[in-house]
A and B are shown apart, each in its own frame.
Chain A
Amino acid sequence: MITFRASFRHELLSSARSRSPQLIIAVFLVLTSISSIIGWLTVRNVTKIYSDIVSQGLTRAPNPFTGTASLYYMRDSVIYIVLVGSLMAIVLGAQTSLRDRNSSADVLIKTRNVSLLSRALGQLSAIGTIIAGLEAVALVASILTIWMIQKTPLSLASFVHLLSFGAISGLLMLAIASLGFAFGLYARSEESALLYPIVTWAIITFTVPQIITSTHPVALLNPTPAIATGTGLAQSMVNTFSPLMLMEHFKYIANSILSIDSSLKLSTTSIVSFAAFVAFALTGSISISAKAFGRKLNV
């Protein structure tokens, strides 16, 4: 317990002092905070266009935005978690283990009677606390923005949905941060500790969903999940590989929580794949960290 607490406090303190991840943290906070404003501007513009079309008598179709949920404005936050949040998590995780290796603190720790498991748990808990703090700031900004846009505060139900979205996003980022942490412990150099997880992230975010759903890579920047249109792959192959479309599963879950697109149904595959990834990433990185702790850097 002492090791856990000491590692937790030390990690929080070191992260607060570290200047390297500040830029990406700033980008994350700015984007997640302004996503509601971007969403609102777009909805307002579309509604104006719709009114113009109706006034010219060109359509009788209903306004596509009538009855949209108040959390619809936050739809872009989903993609910012996938893009910026994930990369920020990799950086935070990798920096934590690299800091020990750079300062050779790992050599010193190995000479003491310290539980490496408790230490890793303490460090990961600290990263989790930082991520939760950043997510909380982003959510508060969103709540205030939506309040200003709608001129009425969020309902209790919407508030709960928003918190659930924050929790799911936090879990995704923590799982990715723990992978960054493991890469940071295992990689031979500081560069590869950052680059390998980033390339892996790019493959999971763009290549795997494209193969399975036939969606163009740029279309995957859409906050709503890609829908399979047929790629010629056998269904058994699709079923085997679809759990790897982690970011698309996250989008499905987030869509369902924020009620962005009611036509999209949340499947058990999405929930199970997401949960399995989080469990695998956390347990895997903790077990690796105990084994890989103390590896020399740049040899």
Chain B
Amino acid sequence: MSNITVIARKEIGDAIRSRQMLLLVTFLSLAILISVWVASASFGLKMTDYNAYLSALTPQQRLQALTRPQLFPLTLLRSGIEYLEILGALFAFIIGFTSISRERSRGTSLLLLSRPITKREIILGKIFGLFAIWSVILAIIYAASVGAILTVGHGQLGAIDYARLLIAFVGADIYLLFWSIFAIAITSRMKQFASAILVGITSWLVVVLVIPQIGDTMDPDNQVPGGLFASLGILKSNEISILSHFHTFDVLRNGLEVTSITKLFERVAFAFLGVKDKYNQASLSTVARAFGTSIAAILILTILVGVITMMISKNEETLKRRSS
């Protein structure tokens, strides 16, 4: 068995025994379950309103009634995906951080380095271990999400829905791995654990919350409750032609948003799950073609942070300090 496999297996073993890990997985699963229940209850209320509206109409008026609200089961997971992108990223950082801080504070990293094993192998082993851990966690959350849709959400899923969900969760796996690798990089390199946490939390804050928030603020349609164009009574076709006159502003706004891996992941996941109206019920190939660049960007960013972490492993100080 190679050194990398040994480290990866040890990482998985530690995770299985960790109470912190159990707490995080339970919390994420519960948050997703609650979000499906909330979305399903909201839809139920919408249906009640619609039925009340229908019963108030005469048989003749019913012929021209508004269309019945339709439930697309995967859209019930919208908040669940948002939890993964916000809290999942925070937990991924915490898990990556703990994976290194544990070794440093116990002094086991120094013991490891006294053996015929390189820092590069240790870090690679940890990355593979974390990838396996996230894959298992997400498989559990995938099952919890499907269960929540079928039971709490009273939705029905076809084979294509399972495939869409799988793609969204593979994307989540890579996205969360990005944050765990980032945590490994700064925790193995920084002198103080508190500084590593601060740098990590500040980065999380900026990438996950601030950049998407500024992007949303700059979206003109978000400035008025119910949407600017809807409030002015503008048709969708006119909206597109009007916005084309403000292309530069939109390019700036979009440019800012795509600097955040969180926003990239959100766009891809929402498109595959049909949360974004434009891609609801669109074929997988259509969505993949439309979001090919975003998918590539998520992969490149994750590989890049992995490469930088490997380069950090060459530094003399990396993993060497016992604790601080």
Contact = CB atoms under 8 A, between A and B. Distances in A.
Contacts of A43: 223
Assign chain B's interface to a size class. Answer: 35 or more
B42 A231 contact: yes
Interface in A38-73: 38-39, 41-43, 45-46, 48-50, 52-53, 56, 58-59, 61, 64-65
Interface in B245-280: 245-246, 249, 266
Contact of B42 (A27, A87, A217, A229): A229
**Chain A contact surface mostly:** helix
Nearest to B48: A230
B51 interface: no
A207 B232 contact: no
Q: Name the prevailing secondary structure of the B interface residues.
A: helix
A251 to B, nearest CB: 13
A217 to B, nearest CB: 4
A55 B249 CA distance: 20
Contacts, number: 159
Contacts of A84: 205, 210
A216 B212 CA distance: 14
Contacts of B79: 210, 216-217
A207 B83 CA distance: 9
Contacts of B231: 61, 64
Contacts of B232: 50, 53, 58-59, 61, 64
A202 B201 contact: no
Interface string A182-211: 000000001100110011001000110011
B213 A221 contact: yes
B284 interface: no
A239 interface: no
B195 interface: yes
B34 A211 contact: yes
Given A210-B35, A231-B42, A232-B45, A83 B213 contact: yes
A194 B233 CA distance: 48
A53 B241 CA distance: 10
Given A45-B249, A191-B197, A59 B234 contact: yes
A116 B218 CA distance: 49
B206 A27 contact: yes
A207 B199 CA distance: 25
Contacts of A190: 193-194
A59 to B, nearest CB: 4
A176 interface: no
25 contacts: A20-B194, A23-B198, A43-B223, A45-B220, A48-B246, A49-B243, A50-B232, A61-B232, A64-B224, A64-B232, A84-B210, A191-B194, A194-B198, A195-B94, A206-B83, A206-B87, A207-B31, A207-B34, A210-B34, A210-B79, A214-B39, A218-B85, A221-B209, A231-B38, A232-B38
The 10 closest A-B pairs by CB, nearest first: A232-B41, A217-B82, A230-B45, A59-B232, A221-B213, A46-B220, A64-B224, A214-B42, A218-B82, A24-B202
Interface of A: 19-21, 23-24, 27, 31, 38-39, 41-43, 45-46, 48-50, 52-53, 56, 58-59, 61, 64-65, 76, 79-80, 83-84, 87, 91, 95, 98, 190-191, 194-195, 198-199, 202, 206-207, 210-211, 214, 216-218, 221-222, 229-233, 261, 263, 298
